[in-house]
Structure formats: structure tokens, C-alpha cells
A and B are shown apart, each in its own frame.
With several copies, the nearest count.
Chain A
Amino acid sequence: MESELVGSVRLDRVVKWHGPHCVLDAVSLEVKQGEFFSILGPSGSGKTTLLRIIAGFDRPNAGRVLIQEQPLDDLPPHQRPVNMVFQHYALFPHLSVWKNVAFGLERRRIARAEVIRRVTEALHMVRLETKGNRFPHELSGGEQQRVALARALVNRPQVLLLDEPLGALDQQLRQAMQGELKRIQEQVGITFICVTHHQEEALSMSDRVAVIDQGRVLQIGSPHELYESPASMAVAQFIGLSNCLHGEVVCTNGTLCTFQVPELGTFLVPKPHGRLPQGTATFMLRPERIRLLREPSSSHGENMLAATVQTVRYSGGELQYQIALSPHIVWTARLPIESKWYEPFHPGERLTVSWDTHEGLILAS
């Protein structure tokens, strides 16, 4: 449909100052209709301020926010077609789960029968049909999170804003809720804009992710794009683990270039996209693309370096090695344990690090 190409939410050079500090520096981005869009950044990057500006709690110093191409300008929060899931849920402690969810409908003077129908539906969607009479403090963290979600979704906003929606949950619950949130988003088809500092969360739930830092958008793209083709070292280091080397890149014709590191010698890397950063550049390799070999065995299309194991971290299905290529260069390698008979390397052991030449990436320094 044509309408789906129109940005559901568009931010146009939004600027926000807190005193002398520039929180948002001309941020522009466009979120598509029905998309799960995440804004990923460290704390203090301005991501929560961005969400609060869309919700109407903060006013930008310059720039505009448009929903369905309608500028929101000075509309107060209670007149915007968006709803928010707050960081610590902000459930009303004096109201039952049912009353919490019905709050928005009752404020809009929706007919009683309709309120009952929609609250029932919303509680069903978050699987809390039986807990309508409970109070927030009687619920677990995950249940509170789902009440917050139902309370916002019951109003059928055009856009749902989520501020660190899973931030207060522990690891196991967080993973379960990631699936749940994605399921609900696909079910209701509403645009979700989710702010998080948790990269795994952003990658596993989102259609697209904007990485922001110090009030600037560093890159916008699908999780796969961000992971496999980060635009800069900052993005690479924020999304997943990454190993890097600083050196000189020399390109001739063909799809491969030569990368030279003073301490380690030379190896082949794929030709970078766009302009060639001649001279100093950074080489980046993801830890799960590394193979560790007891004996160097030459194979076509692979680079090889000698290394020493420093530490081994066991986490059930996976081993994480710290391996020293030189006294100053330590890489991380993640290896799944694919068999219970697998014999791990020991700290101090000498081995060969190997990787497919095409898995490396050259970034401007």
C-alpha cells in the first residue's frame, strides 16, 4: 500500500539543550508504519529525551516531530496519538490492574460496555485475564511489565513508545519477554519505538535500529546491517563484541586488499565499500568468526596468526577465550561447544587463529 511508505513518525532536525549541554544535536529519523524501531545508545546518549519529545513531555528547542506527516508542535501529551510504556512502568499503585488498564479509556469517556470489551481484550493479549483484581504491588516484575503494555495498547495509539521496557527484569524473564513483545507487536500492527541500552534486546526484536551517542545518530539500519556492516568503530563496539587491529591498508585492483600491522605482519582483507581509507585504518572481526586450531593448517581463503590463550570463560553452551596475538593485542573468540566430548584449550596454550578473509571489515580510523 502507498500509505505504508509514508513515515509513521518523522523527526526533523530535533535539537534539545539542557542548560549548556546539547542533549540532541539535530536528530532526524523516519520510522515506518507498523515497524518495530529501536533507539540504541548508552546512558546519557539522549535517547530517553528523544522519546519524551515524541510523547510531548519535553519540548525541543528546534526542529519538529511529525506523525503521519502532521506536525505535533505544541500539542500537550494527553492530546497526542501516542502512548508510552514507562521505564519503571509507572503503574498507578492505588488502582487495580483492571483500573490501570481502563484509565486511558475512562479519561476519554468511552462507553462502559466498550471499556469492558477493550480492557478484557487487552488483558487477554498480555495473558493476564485472571489478574484484573490484583494490585500492581501483588504482581511480579514481568506481570507489571505486561500491565504497562496493556495500559498503553488498550488506547490503540498510532505509535507506542517504550522506554527501556525490559530494563527492570532479570536475564531469564527478559529473554522470554523479548519474544512476547515481538509477538504482540506483530499482532496489533502498531508502530513501536523502543529506547534501550541493551544491544541484544535491540537486535532480536527490531526491524530497524538507530544507534545514537552524545545526541547524534551514528547509524540506522537493520540488525543484520549494523552487525555485519557497522559504519564506524563506535557502532561496531556498541553492537556485539568486536576484535580490532590498527594498521595500514593497501588496495590494488580486485576484491581483496592487504592489511599491515607492524607487530603481526600482513594479511588479506575485503576491499572496503565506498571511499578507500588509504593509510591508517581499523580492521574489525567478530569473535564468532574466529577458528582456533591446534596445528596451523593452510587452507585457501583463510588468514592465520599465531596466538596464546590467556583466559577461558565457560558459560554452558559456549566458551569465550581471550587470546593474545601479541603482548598488547588481545582478541576475544566465542566458540559454541558442539559436543560434550569437546576438549577446550587451556590458558597458556599456543594455537593458531584463523578466519575467512571475507569476514574481516575495514573501517576508517
Chain B
Amino acid sequence: MSFPSWPLIPALVVLIAFFLVPLLIMTGISFVSRGPYGGIEWILTWENYVRLADPLYWHIFIRSVGLAVATTLICVVLGFPLAYLMARSSPRVQYLLICLVLIPFWTNFLVRTYAWMFLLRADGLVNTTLRTLGLSDHPVELLYTPWAVLIGLVYGYLPFMVLPLYAAIERIAPSLEEAARDLYATGWAVFTQVVLPLAKPGLVAGCVLVFVPSLGAFITPHLLGGGQTMMIGTLIQHEFLVVRDWPFGAALSLVFMATVLLILLLWLKRQEAMWRTL
């Protein structure tokens, strides 16, 4: 390119400063001790990592992974038809649907979560409706269950599934679907043999974008799950905000991130192998 390259140097500096420095700092903090009143003391130690051997933390971790996987799967099932609808609509309708999908981002996340709490409470809208209709005489327990957390997470992260899927499906030429139809494919075969494999990059991107933040989410589990459903995100929040044990929180967060990365890499590898054999 003949474009001058000098404006790119600050860009690289910013990139490194912003995106690597906090990571390095957290790594450093995870190897020192907790100060007496929170904060840190400069004594090198493995202690924070040794404490992670406690199966308690791994139970929380596994429960969080399960919930994140469920969130991701539900988002795929709900998001794919939605994304397909968007991609194959007229530009006008596409624009409208994108706006609709993005509406939640215009309101405070907290406010939206409280709307769900209001819906799911013992005296909330769902239970009131059930009671009024005579379908149940004592309140169904909805709020402060893993189900409530699941609903909240799907609600919060569905757009992250829909948007990359939409972008991927929009790139699939409609003539490919017609060619498949012409070659004796039923509607289901067109979907599994043509649309799904070609939407794969968007699907993988969507899964990563939903799985990672829903695994680390802390506000939704805190508000909708209550104290009963401790998640990895709420645990880290607890260490930082309540216990004020920064070094342990940092260690927890790093090990958790490394594990997620590992899981994802293995999954992406397997995906690749799977798609290749398809």
C-alpha cells in the first residue's frame, strides 16, 4: 500500500497497552499475597493456585460450563431461524429486524434484568397469570433457580448469536439453495447440506461470542440466580468485591480463562474435523 504508515504506530502502541498490559498485571497479582485489609502485599507465593485444587471451585466451574453450553445451544436453536429470516428478507425488513434485535442494547442491562425478575417472581406476572387462570394454586418457583439464570443469559446474549449468523447467511448466494433444490434436496436437506455448512463461520463465531461471556457472567446469575446458584462469574465478583482477595480472584480468573480457551480450542479443532468428514 502506498498509504503512509506513521498513523499506524500509535495504533499498535494502544493495542499493546490496552489489550496486553491488564492481562500481564493480573498475572503478576495472582502470584503475590493478599494484604491484611484487601489489596496486595509483595510476597511471591503459589498459594492462590494451590487453593484452586479444592473440588468446591471445580464444582462451580463445571456447573457454569454446563449452563454456558445450554445457553449457547438454546441461542443456536432460537437464533438460526431468526438470522435466516433476516438474511433473506428485503433490505427494508432486514433493517427493521436488526433494529428490533438491537433494542435491548438501548436500555440499561440492569433494568432489563429487573424486568425478568419482575416476570419470574413468586408474585410476578407469570405466577399471577397462572393463578388468575386457575392453572396453579401455589406460586411456581421460577426466580432464584438455574432456569431463571438460563433465561436471563439467553436473553442477554442472543443478539451475539444472531448477528454473526446473519452476516454469514447473508453471504450465501440464494442460487446455491436453488441449485440444491434443483438437485432433489428437500427443505431439510437444503438446510443441513448447504445452509448449515456454509453458515459455519458465523455459527462458530456466534457460539464463541455467546459461550465466553455467558460463562463469565456475574450480574445475571447474581440477580436471577440469587445466592443458591453460585457461578464462576459470581465467585470472582465475590472474591474481588466482598472478600477483597485480589490475588486469589486473579488466579481464579486466569485459570478459568485458560480452561475456557483450552475447551474452545479443542472444540474448534473437533468442529473442523467434523465439518471435513461431513
Contacts and interface: CB of A to CB of B under 8 A. Distances in A.
Contact between A and B in the complex (any CB pair below 8 Å): yes
A76 B175 CA distance: 16
Interface string B192-204: 0110011010000
B269 interface: no
A90 B180 CA distance: 9
B178 to A, nearest CB: 6
B175 A107 contact: no
Contact of B184 (A78, A90, A92, A94): A78
A77 B197 contact: no
A151 B185 CA distance: 14
A84 B197 contact: no
B60 to A, nearest CB: 39
Given A57-B2, A107-B189, A84 B182 contact: yes
Contact of B178 (A86, A93, A151, A152): A86
Name the interface size band of chain B.
Answer: 20 to 34
A76 B181 contact: yes
B179 interface: yes
A49 to B, nearest CB: 14
A55 B182 contact: yes
Given A77-B2, A90-B173, A93-B198, A108 B184 contact: yes
Given A76-B2, A86-B175, A90-B173, A104 B181 contact: no
Nearest to A103: B183
Contact of A77 (B175, B178, B198): B178
A155 B175 contact: no
A87 interface: yes
Interface residues of A, number: 23
A78 B198 contact: no
Contacts of B243: none
B185 A92 contact: no
Contacts of B184: 78, 104, 107-108, 155
B186 interface: yes
A78 B179 contact: no
B197 A94 contact: yes
A88 interface: yes
Contacts of A92: 176, 179-180, 194, 198
A107 B179 contact: no
A107 B186 CA distance: 8
A83 B179 CA distance: 9
Nearest to A107: B184
A83 B178 CA distance: 11
Give the residue among B178, B179, B185, B189 with the most A Cβ atoms within 10 A.
B179
B178 A78 contact: no
A84 B197 CA distance: 22
A228 B186 CA distance: 47
A308 to B, nearest CB: 41
A77 B173 contact: no
A83 B183 contact: yes
A230 B13 CA distance: 59
Interface string A59-88: 000000000000000001110001110111
Given A86-B175, A88-B175, A93-B198, A107 B183 contact: yes
A311 B36 CA distance: 97
Interface string B93-107: 000000000000000
Contacts of B175: 86-88, 90
A151 B199 CA distance: 23
B185 A107 contact: yes
Top 9 nearest A-B pairs (CB, nearest first) are A104-B183, A90-B179, A107-B184, A90-B175, A77-B181, A78-B184, A94-B197, A84-B182, A107-B185
6 contacts: A76-B181, A78-B183, A78-B186, A83-B183, A87-B175, A103-B193
Interface of B: 2, 173, 175-176, 178-186, 189, 193-194, 197-198, 200, 275
Given A77-B182, A82-B182, A107-B186, 11 more contacts: A57-B2, A77-B181, A83-B182, A83-B183, A84-B182, A86-B175, A88-B173, A90-B175, A90-B178, A92-B179, A103-B180
